[in-house]
Chain A
Amino acid sequence: MATAAPSLAAERLDRLSRIWRERSGLVGWLTTTDHKRIGILYFFTALAFFAAGGVEALLIRTQLAAPDQHVLSPNAFNQAFTLHGITMIFLFVIPVSTGAFGNYLLPLMIGSRDMAFPRLNALSYWIYLASGIFIYIGLVTGNAPNAGWFNYVPLASKTYSPGTGIDFYALGLIFNAISTTASAINFIVTIFNLRAPGMSLNRMPLFCFAFLAVSFALVFALPPLTCALMLLELQRLLGFHFYDVASGGDPILWQNLFWIFGHPEVYIIILPAFGIATAIIPTFTRRRMVAFPLVALAELLVAFIGFGVWVHHMFAVGLSTATTVYFAAASLIIVIPSGIQLFAWITTIVTGTPRFKTPLLWIVGFIVLFMLGGLSGVMFAAIPFDQQVTDSYFVVAHFHYVIFGAAVFPVLGGMYYWFPKVTGRMYYERWGQASFWLSFAGMNLTFFPMHIVGLLGMPRRDYTYSGGLGWTAPNLIETIGAYLLAAGLLMVVVNLAVSLFRGEAAGNDPFGGDTLEWATTSPPPAYNFPVIPRVSSPYAMWDREDREEDARNLERGSRVLERGHETPASTAVDADWDEVLTMPSESAWPPLLALALSGIFAFLLLKLWIVTGVFLLACLGVLAAWHGKEPQEAS
């Protein structure tokens, strides 16, 4: 009897891994629907685009190192800053935070075995990859977009941008939006329906609240962008007049639509980072988050209020004072939920017993940088000051503190934090800390002087400047800082790459983490958890009794779901056990559909309508085949 129980458990694990096994090799990666493998694909793709965007940034900074330089031609410079913006926002930050971190970790944190729609998840990835390649084909063929990521009309209209660069931008972003929308919907359904039975909403980790907020924001923010882009393409490809004053259109329409998307976008970028921060802080301070309900509420509120402040990007347009003052007030109000989160993190660190390991260092760096970016951001709600410094380098400084400091720093901290979970190996702690300090110094050296140079009147997006305006010294410092920052980031990559092969074995839970991903092995098996975990608080890993109960359940065969490719669904709020879902397994349809969609966008760009139609039919065909065979009960 004493030996029978463990062998029963081993037999169950064996059966589970047989049921959940996917093909290996390249075909396996192409057809995978495992959220973890998709997350890894997202991660490496986003990292490649991060490198591309970084090279563009270094080119920009090299050109601006001194007055009147000719490192880049004016057009190359405009292409570089446009692509830098598009790449970092659409092809790096969102995919790495939602695509890589969200995909990999969210099902683990809620105790599920996969995302709600695994094939849709794969489709999101392949469309993301295809749209990124689509935009970069523009660069390779010499037609990179060059009107800025904000792409204001009439500069972006056919009259002033006759090439195909803007079409690459518009079609590429419409294409990309499909991917992001699909994954956002997937997250919402997963969070609402796939939580381990027992994880009612008030027991859900704050990380998941952040992703819930982001997903809702994405679903509502992307349509205005897609709409604006479609109107633009109708104007460019077919001669419509939506933005053309001479024919009764209005260029301000573009600005409104773009920023209705663009401002929520800022919160879409930083909310996952907030989620990462709230995951790392409790682990390294060995205490629960202070003011948990307030923070959860603040995360949702930020995403909501974020939709009501877009006009503060347009204070210099000449709108009526009543309009601008209203939006200035709204912009001040959004400071409050951000302030709550900020002080909740700080209070947690102060009242806990912090261990300043690499991940927490990045988070503390994030708090400092976010505070600087936030404080300069508040100043933009002062309309006269906004109209003085908007479109100057002061803005560039501000949003790099927010986007690089507040969004990318936690992502880097998260890379260190979950590296042992994903790879099963530890990173090098000393080099990790060194990489933080180097990046932190480089970041401040690059972006802090931009405040000064902006106050000194340097407009942004200038490919060169004259000496004698006080801009030379700060610009040189910024360039030096940019190279230091690049070195710091390279150090992160090298550290993790070397650790991947030589790091010490990490074990399941090297940091004493608080959420469920630490309950399973490192790296997690394809089925995530042998037993659907029991949850009675948001800090599930710290509830020792529940974890012991899980082990007993494995022996008993309770909550194991070993009969098929299954995961439990639960009710949206209270997470009562609802039903057992049979999950689809690997499939070739998602990459094929993404390929057919690429054809549509490519031939739209080339204005070959008939071929576009053919690819449209192909898409419909793939969709029909996709739905022809529903997932089967495993025998």
Chain B
Amino acid sequence: VLAYLPAVVAYARTRRKVGAPPELTLPVVGLAPLAAALGLPRGRFRSAAIWTAQMWAYKVSFEVPHDRPARQRERQHIDYPIRADSVIGGGMPPGQRLQRRLRSPPRLSRLDRAASLVYFAWELEPHLAMLWLLRRHPARWPAAAGRLAATFDLTLLGYFAVPSAPPWWASEREDRMGHEVRRVVAEVGRELRGKPRPGIDHYTGSNPWAAMPSDHFGSALMTAMVLADVDRRLGAAAGAYAAALGLALVYTGEHYVTDLIAGLLLAIGVRFVAPAAERPARRVAAFAVEVDAEARVIVLRRTAPVCPPRGRGSDERAPFRARTAQPLRERPTSKWGTAVRLTAWLSAFGAMIAVSGCGRQSTLDPHSPQSHDIRTLWWWMLVAAGVVFLGAVAMLVIGWIRRREPGLPLLGGGERTETRLVVLFGMVIPVVVLVALFFVSNVYVIGKTEPPSPGSTSLSVEVTGHQWWWEVHYPGTAAVTANEIHIPARTRVNVIGNTDDVIHSFWVPQLNRKIDLIPGRNNRVLLDASQPGVYRGQCAEFCGLQHAHMAFEVIADPPDRFQAWLQNMAADAPQPATAAERAGQAAFMQDQCSSCHTIRGTGAQGQIGPDLTHLASRGTIAALTLPNTPQYLSQWIRDPQHFKPGNKMPGLNLSGQDVNSLVAYLRSLR
């Protein structure tokens, strides 16, 4: 773990030799902990590696401003900490006061050595605490490490934003404090090492630009806090160490008291804010774990993801869950190294996106001849666009290569040649490609996907858009339903769409292109499902508050099953059979339900809400907002505005008993 110091030095040296700019260094080292997190298998070793990478990144970033010392010195603030501290110390900075009182120059006193040792111990203390936590309380480790790392990184940000000088610097260079404050730590360090070693002195000494806020103090405090969460006594010990360190920092001339206060505030702030930041972080982590699990599957099984079998409520992630739920007995082979893991991780991520092409509302997973043609058109357009794009980018790359070789001969030059080039790429080639695109898409594919001519199909369905649900009629029958459109598979169906209020748009991506539903117009679209299945659709034209909750399902049944469904749907509602159902029917009629909803075969003839005659046969309520289960149904009846604020159904303050009997009745409407 402690191998990071040599790595810091090595990186700093090569970086300067190569001349890598800080703008490059900071992102690279910033990604190091992330790379450790992604590239290594989960476990303590990875945790330790993440921490090491984090500290390495911290130290390297700390070194970056040394690249341009002159500039750094220019930005450095020397005055204001002295002034602030003089106020605290009553006319003289407390550090200066302490040294005047306690030091006995020119010899180093015992106090000097003790304070310096406390100071040096900080190089180990937070890391030892982290190691201890990792060994004893691995579950607590992530939160603790996150907070401590945040403390380190935020102090660093403070240094970058407002570099300020420590007291010893102000005293040595600027004569602000009468050359009185000695850099005790450096003197003790030299004494311990015997002879001066500039490299080590540089890395163990403190930075002349990094004083406010005190990272020593802030991180020691944070260490104490995270330890106290686990073990009171250990926390108290670490707290005592932090206090001693604070005193030592002031005495040795490393920090002003104001720096300590800033460090304290920072540590408290991190502790206060951390819980709020943890939830989103956990969400990202959960996603990473999912991808990681998939990467294991890809490496061990070498299986490509496939589209899941489809049915109601199928989930595009189902294949992952199904596969990862089985314990993977195979141990990762030796090939399961960092590089393989990273590759697998990337391909898993790509695969997840590819598999999500199988989504139930995806244009890339067609289930009708029409949607299939449009998807084929898309892939061809993508290929053509890709060729054009890569060609143009290649030209720009040539420009990039030429930037330092202006003499590079090119095309023989000449205004004429260049204009010809523009005409060729900007006019001739586009004209050819665009004419082809025009005929393929707007003559050929458009004809194959256009609405059927009236009377050319055996079945028509009338769909009416409402804010925010779909009403479905089957002309020639009494069948009326909502948000669920049953059609026979392998049959051309003419959908006639209109709207009762604002403009909506009827879109089932897996079956055909969309069509707007416009007041005063009857627009048509062809549905022709290739096989039985459930295809999700959604309103695609913004229609107000709950536009997002206006989905529906097209359910393609085998033709005979469709006929049975239609027959049932055209029939009146079944009579209530049990006492609870009868009570529910009575409640439905007495309360205001019947003024908005129709239940055919009863007195309920309301026209505002969906027809409920066969509600229990539907899979969802409120346009796919909730599953149609007794629990959700009763919650919906109690407070319809909770799930879909703004919809037209009011909460009626029904008694619990009324709600239960209503649910019983509605569940009987098969």
Contact = CB atoms under 8 A, between A and B. Distances in A.
Interface of A: 65-66, 73-75, 78, 147-148, 152, 154-155, 160, 245, 250-252, 290-291, 294, 316-318, 321, 324-325, 328-329, 332-333, 335-336, 339-344, 346-347, 349-356, 364, 367-368, 371-372, 375-376, 378-379, 381-385, 387-392, 430-431, 433-434, 452, 455-466, 468-474, 476
B331 to A, nearest CB: 29
Given A152-B541, A430-B21, A291 B419 contact: yes
B316 A469 contact: yes
B515 A367 contact: no
Given A290-B422, A455-B363, 16 more contacts: A152-B541, A152-B542, A154-B502, A160-B544, A245-B520, A290-B421, A317-B523, A340-B426, A354-B403, A368-B396, A378-B381, A378-B385, A382-B441, A385-B441, A456-B362, A472-B287
B542 A147 contact: yes
B452 to A, nearest CB: 14
Given A350-B410, A473-B352, A376 B396 contact: no
Interface stretch (B92-100, B195-203, B387-395): B387-395
Contacts of A343: 392, 421-422, 425-426
A594 B402 CA distance: 53
B516 A318 contact: yes
B501 to A, nearest CB: 7
Contacts of A318: 515-516, 518, 521, 523-524
Interface in B271-288: 280, 283-284, 287
B437 A473 contact: no
B502 A155 contact: yes
A353 B402 contact: yes
B507 A459 contact: yes
A431 B371 CA distance: 48
Interface in B331-365: 349, 352-353, 355-364
A349 B418 contact: no
B4 to A, nearest CB: 26
Interface of B: 21, 23, 280, 283-284, 287, 315-317, 349, 352-353, 355-364, 371, 373-374, 377-378, 381, 385, 388-389, 392-393, 395-396, 398-400, 402-403, 406, 410-411, 413, 415, 418-419, 421-423, 425-427, 430-431, 434, 437-438, 440-443, 445-446, 449-450, 467, 501-503, 505, 507, 509, 513-516, 518-521, 523-524, 536, 538-548, 624, 645-646
Contacts of B441: 328, 381-385
Contacts of A356: 400, 403
Contacts of B411: 351
Given A290-B422, A328-B442, A388 B316 contact: no
A590 B322 CA distance: 70
Nearest to B358: A470
B455 to A, nearest CB: 18
B400 to A, nearest CB: 7
B431 A336 contact: yes
A384 B356 contact: no
A228 B552 CA distance: 33
Nearest to A387: B513
A339 B374 contact: no
User: Which 3 pairs show the lowest CB-CB distances between chains A and B?
Assistant: A470-B356, A457-B361, A382-B441
18 contacts: A75-B646, A147-B542, A154-B519, A155-B503, A251-B518, A290-B415, A291-B422, A328-B441, A350-B410, A375-B385, A375-B389, A384-B449, A387-B513, A388-B509, A391-B540, A463-B547, A464-B548, A472-B287
A155 B521 CA distance: 16
B388 A375 contact: yes
A378 B437 contact: yes
Given A78-B545, A321-B446, A384-B445, A355 B434 contact: no
Contact of A154 (B501, B513, B540, B545): B501
A225 to B, nearest CB: 19
B645 A74 contact: yes
B626 to A, nearest CB: 11
Contacts of A75: 545, 646
A287 to B, nearest CB: 10
A158 B429 CA distance: 50
Contact of B356 (A317, A321, A456): A456
Contacts of B514: 316, 387-388, 390-391
Contact of B402 (A354, A381, A431): A354
B364 A456 contact: yes
A368 B396 CA distance: 9
Contact of B287 (A148, A328, A372, A473): A473
A371 B513 CA distance: 26
A354 B514 CA distance: 47
Nearest to A463: B548
A389 B548 CA distance: 17
Contact of B374 (A340, A342, A385): A385
B98 to A, nearest CB: 37
A473 B363 CA distance: 18
A381 B400 contact: no
- With most chain A CB atoms within 10 A of its CB, the pick from B536, B539, B542 is B542
A316 B515 contact: yes
B446 A456 contact: no
A472 B290 CA distance: 13
Contacts of A455: 357, 362-364, 378
Nearest to B361: A457
Contact of A384 (B315, B374, B502, B524): B374
A325 B442 contact: yes
Contacts of B419: 290-291, 294
Among the interface residues A148, A364, A379, A465, which one has the most CB atoms of the partner chain B within 10 A?
A: A379
Contacts of A328: 438, 441-442
A447 B359 CA distance: 20
A66 B385 CA distance: 31
A74 B509 contact: no
A261 B203 CA distance: 65
B363 A294 contact: no
A457 B359 contact: yes
Contacts of B645: 73-74
Given A383-B441, A384-B377, A351 B388 contact: no
A341 to B, nearest CB: 7
A388 B374 contact: yes
Contacts of B385: 375-376, 378-379
Given A329-B438, A355-B403, A456-B361, A384 B520 contact: no
Contacts of A152: 502-503, 541-542
Nearest to A62: B280
Given A74-B548, A245-B519, A339-B426, A459 B538 contact: yes
Contacts of B374: 384-385, 388
B505 to A, nearest CB: 6
Contacts of B515: 316, 318, 387
B396 A367 contact: yes
Nearest to A290: B418
Contacts of B539: 459
Nearest to B397: A350
A433 B21 CA distance: 11
B23 A469 contact: no
Contacts of B280: 65
Contacts of A464: 548
Contact of B438 (A290, A332, A349, A469): A332
Nearest to A372: B389
Q: Specify which of A347, A352, A457, A471 lies most central, judged by the most chain B CB atoms within 10 Å of its CB.
A: A457
Nearest to B507: A459
Given A335-B434, A455-B364, A347 B502 contact: no
A382 B413 CA distance: 38
Nearest to B545: A74
Contacts of B445: 382, 384-385
B403 A384 contact: no
Nearest to A431: B23
Contacts of B450: 321
